[in-house]
Amino acid sequence: MYKFFITATDTDAGKTFVAQSLVKALTNQSLKVAVFKPVSAGCDLINNKLVNEDAKLLFDLANCNQSLNEINPIAFKEPIAPHIAAKHTSNKIAVNDLSDHYKAVIATNADYVITEGAGGWRLPLGNGKFLSEFVQNTKQQVVLVVNMKLGCLNHAVLTYQAILADGLECVAWVANCFEGMDYLDDNIDELTKLLDCPMLAKLDKEQSIDVAANKFNVELLTR
């Protein structure tokens, strides 16, 4: 079983879009793919249950019969920093709870488990804890999504260095070029030098997940 955690240079950088495309690329190859969104903030109340859009999008593409609740066990209504949402609803987000919920995902016996983070790499969970500790506990390999815009070189390198400093492997990065950037090729060349891992995909502003999925070089993930 391969376990990948999708992180990014920032919120709204394309983690869900990349996770969706990656899941699609893998299921296109008849592989069994489970998904996980450990923590979400920003949900709709549907039939008395909090439903997060990211979790729903991943649910729609995965093929291991998971429930929405299994995919996203911790959900808060307001679209704010999760640990602040937790505080305001008298909850706590414990790293061990996230790791326990992850066990149910592992139990699907999927070929691949694709987990989408929240925010960026050092997302606070409150009480001095970070989402990155869940990734360490569950020994996932990391895929870094870079939102290609001015300032991304700094964010990408800091994130890459933090992943390595945490004792984890950043196996690949994705150049997510959906916002339009001046001198894009120069910036991609620079990141290719600065990040010591292969580029899994270069995405433009894509019309569909299907089109994006075809741009993934998934063989890179299992080298």
Ligand X SMILES: Nc1ncnc2c1ncn2[C@@H]1O[C@H](COP(=O)(O)OP(=O)(O)OP(=O)(O)O)[C@@H](O)[C@H]1O
Q: 10, 54, 70, 206: which one contacts Mg ion (CB under 5 A)?
A: 54
Residue 9 makes contact with Mg ion by CB under 5 A: no
Q: 66 φ, ψ to 5°? A: -85, 150
Q: Measured from the CB of residue 164, what is the shortest distance to ligand X in angstroms?
A: 21
Residue 13 makes contact with ligand X by CB under 6 A: yes
**Residue whose CB is less far from ligand X, 1 or 60:** 60
Non-local CB neighbours of 83 within 8 Å, separated by 6+ positions: 93, 124, 125, 126
Q: Measured from the CB of residue 107, what is the shortest distance to Mg ion in angstroms?
A: 24
**Residue 26 · residue 171 · CB < 8 Å:** no
Residue 24 makes contact with Mg ion by CB under 5 A: no
**Residue whose CB is less far from ligand X, 2 or 178:** 178
**Residue whose CB is less far from Mg ion, 56 or 164:** 56
For residue 192, the one-letter residue type is T
CA 59-62-67 angle, to 5 degrees, is: 45
Q: Measured from the CB of residue 12, what is the shortest distance to Mg ion in angstroms?
A: 8
Q: How many CA atoms lie within 13 A of 211 on its CB side?
A: 6
Given the structure tokens 């996203």, which residue do they identify?
72
Part in contact with ligand X (CB under 6 A); list of ranges 58-66, 154-162, 190-198, 199-207: 199-207
CA distance 152 to 182: 12
CA distance 29 to 10: 30
- Indicate the DSSP class of residue 139: T
Q: Measured from the CB of residue 13, what is the shortest distance to ligand X in angstroms?
A: 4
For residue 196, the one-letter residue type is D
Residue 176 makes contact with ligand X by CB under 6 A: yes
Binding mask 200-219 for ligand X (x = CB under 6 A): ---x-xx-------------
Q: 3, 15, 24, 101: which one contacts Mg ion (CB under 5 A)?
A: 15
Residue 16 makes contact with Mg ion by CB under 5 A: yes
Q: Which tokens in the block code for residue 189?
A: 């060349």
Residue 3 makes contact with ligand X by CB under 6 A: no
SS3 state at 36:
strand
Residue 2 makes contact with ligand X by CB under 6 A: no
Tell me which residues touch ligand X (CB under 6 A). 8, 11-17, 54, 119, 176, 178, 203, 205-206
Residues labelled as active-site residues: 37
